[in-house]
Structure 1
Amino acid sequence: MNFKTPVQLAQAACTTAKAKAAWSVPQMLVLGILAGAYIAFGGWMMTVVTHDLADHIGLGGSRFIGGAVFAVGLILVVIAGAELFTGNCLMPLGALSGCATMSQIARNWFWVYVANLLGSILVAYLIFLSGLWKGPIGAYALKIAANKMSLPVGEAFFRGILCNWIVVLAVWISMAALDVVGKIFAIVFPIMTFVASGFEHSIANMYFMFLGILLKGNPDVVAAAALPEAKLAAVSAGGYLNNLVPVTLGNMVGGILFVAVFYFLVFKTNLQSID
Structure 2
Amino acid sequence: MAFLKPDEIAKLTTETGTKKANLPIPSILSLGFLGGAFISIGYLLDIRVTASLPKDWGTFGSFLGASVFPLGLILIVLAGGELLTGNMMAVSMAFFAKKISFGRLVNNWIWITVTNFIGALFVAYVFGQLAGLTSDGPFLAKTAAFAQGKVSEPFWPSFFSAIGCNWLVGLALWLSYGSEEMSSKILSIWFPIMGFVAIGFQHVVANMFVIPAAIFAGQATWSQYIQNFVPVFLGNAVGGSIFVSLLYWVAYKPYFFKELQESELKHRKLSERRRKQL
- Asked if Structure 1 and Structure 2 have the same fold, meaning a TM-score greater than 0.5 normalized by the shorter chain, the answer is yes
The one-letter code sitting in structure 2 at the alignment partner of 1:141 is: T
User: Residues 14-38 of structure 1, C-alpha deviation per residue, up to 9 Å, x if partnerless?
Assistant: 1111111111122111110100000
Distance 1:212 1:261, change over 3 A: same
The one-letter code sitting in structure 2 at the alignment partner of 1:64 is: F
User: Residues 79-105 of structure 1, C-alpha deviation per residue, up to 9 Å, x if partnerless?
Assistant: 111110100011211111122222111
1:148 pairs, out of 138, 150, 154, with 150
Structure 1 range deviating more: 88-97 or 108-117: 88-97
- Per the alignment, residue 241 of structure 1 pairs with 226
| Inter-partner Cα distance in structure 2 for 1:150 and 1:138 | 18
User: Residues 127-179 of structure 1, C-alpha deviation per residue, up to 9 Å, x if partnerless?
Assistant: 21002332211121112112211211111111001100010000000111111
1:182 pairs, out of 176, 181, 184, with 184
| Inter-partner Cα distance in structure 2 for 1:3 and 1:54 | 41
Aligned residues: 257
| Inter-partner Cα distance in structure 1 for 2:112 and 2:237 | 14
Equivalent runs, 1:254-269 vs 2, <5 Å = 254-269=239-254
The one-letter code sitting in structure 2 at the alignment partner of 1:180 is: M
Equivalent runs, 1:129-168 vs 2, <5 Å = 129-133=130-134, 134-168=136-170
- In the TM superposition, what is the alpha-carbon distance from 1:53 to its structure 2 partner? 2.5
Q: TM-score, normalised by structure 2?
A: 0.89
* Contact 1:36–1:203 (Cα < 8 Å) also in 2: yes
| Inter-partner Cα distance in structure 2 for 1:56 and 1:187 | 29
| Inter-partner Cα distance in structure 2 for 1:19 and 1:131 | 38
- Per the alignment, residue 2 of structure 2 pairs with 2
Once the two structures are aligned, what percentage of the paired residues are identical? Answer: 38
| Inter-partner Cα distance in structure 1 for 2:53 and 2:238 | 33
- Per the alignment, residue 75 of structure 2 pairs with 76
The one-letter code sitting in structure 2 at the alignment partner of 1:262 is: L
Distance 1:149 1:18, change over 3 A: same
- In the TM superposition, what is the alpha-carbon distance from 1:117 to its structure 2 partner? 0.4
Equivalent runs, 1:169-248 vs 2, <5 Å = 169-216=171-218, 235-248=220-233
The runs of 5 or more residues in structure 2 that have no matched partner are 264-278
Larger Rg: 2
The runs of 5 or more residues in structure 1 that have no matched partner are 217-231
| Inter-partner Cα distance in structure 2 for 1:63 and 1:267 | 37
Structure 1 range deviating more: 174-183 or 134-143: 134-143
* Contact 1:86–1:255 (Cα < 8 Å) also in 2: yes
* Contact 1:154–1:246 (Cα < 8 Å) also in 2: yes
| Inter-partner Cα distance in structure 2 for 1:56 and 1:184 | 31
Task: Extract structure 1 runs of 4+ deviating beyond 3 A.
Answer: none
Secondary structure at 1:271's aligned position in 2? helix
- In the TM superposition, what is the alpha-carbon distance from 1:54 to its structure 2 partner? 5.2
| Inter-partner Cα distance in structure 2 for 1:53 and 1:132 | 16
The one-letter code sitting in structure 2 at the alignment partner of 1:41 is: I
- Per the alignment, residue 41 of structure 2 pairs with 41
Distance 1:169 1:54, change over 3 A: farther
The one-letter code sitting in structure 2 at the alignment partner of 1:138 is: L
- In the TM superposition, what is the alpha-carbon distance from 1:208 to its structure 2 partner? 0.2
* Contact 1:54–1:61 (Cα < 8 Å) also in 2: no
